[in-house]
Amino acid sequence: MTTSTSTPRSSKPKVLRVGKIDFAQEKWAQLAQVAEIVDCDSPNREQFFEDLKTKYSDVVSIARTFYSVEQTGRFDAELVSHFPDSVRSVSHNGAGYDQVDVEPLTARGIQLSNVTVPVEAPTADTAVYLLLSTLRNFQIGHDLAVKGQWPTAKCGGAALGHLPESQTVGILGMGGIGRAIRDRLKPFGFKKIIYYNRKQLTPELEAGADYVSYDELISQSDIICISIPLNANTRHSINKEVISKMKDGVILVNTARGAVINESELLQALKDGKIGAFGSDVFEHEPQVPQELLDLPNVVSLPHMGTHAVEAMKNMEEFVVDNILQFLTTGKVKTIVPEQYSMDIALEPLVKT
Ligand X SMILES: NC(=O)c1ccc[n+]([C@@H]2O[C@H](COP(=O)([O-])OP(=O)(O)OC[C@H]3O[C@@H](n4cnc5c(N)ncnc54)[C@H](O)[C@@H]3O)[C@@H](O)[C@H]2O)c1
Q: Enumerate the active-site residues.
A: 257, 286, 304
| From 79, 90, 112, 119, residue interacting with ligand X (rule: CB under 6 A) | 119
- Cα–chain center distance at 310: 17
Q: Which residues pair with 192 in a beta bridge?
A: 168
Indicate whether 229 belongs to the interface with ligand X (CB under 6 A).
Answer: yes
Q: CA separation (Å) from 309 to 29, 183, 216, 258? A: 23, 20, 35, 21
Q: Which is closer to ligand X, CB of 108 or CB of 198? A: 198
Number of helices (H), then strands (E), belonging to the chain: the values are 14, 12
Q: Shortest Cβ distance from residue 78 to ligand X (Å)?
A: 22
Indicate whether 178 belongs to the interface with ligand X (CB under 6 A).
Answer: yes
Q: Which is closer to ligand X, CB of 212 or CB of 277? A: 212
- Cα 218 from Cα 226, distance rounded (Å): 11
Indicate whether 306 belongs to the interface with ligand X (CB under 6 A).
Answer: yes
Q: CA separation (Å) from 107 to 82, 86, 96, 111, 310? A: 14, 15, 20, 10, 36
| From 191, 198, 271, 285, residue interacting with ligand X (rule: CB under 6 A) | 198
Exposure string for 291-321, b = 16+ CB within 10 A, e = fewer: eebeebebbbbbebebbeeeebbbbbbbbbb
Cis? peptide before 287, omega within 30° of 0: yes
Residue range at the interface with ligand X (CB under 6 A); choices 5-13, 154-162, 191-199, 263-271 = 191-199
Residue range at the interface with ligand X (CB under 6 A); choices 40-48, 175-183, 217-225, 317-325 = 175-183
| From 173, 258, 276, 279, residue interacting with ligand X (rule: CB under 6 A) | 173
Indicate whether 195 belongs to the interface with ligand X (CB under 6 A).
Answer: no
Indicate whether 227 belongs to the interface with ligand X (CB under 6 A).
Answer: yes
**Which residues form the interface with ligand X (CB under 6 A)?**
95-96, 116, 119-120, 123, 173-178, 196-199, 227-230, 233-234, 255-257, 281-282, 304, 306-307
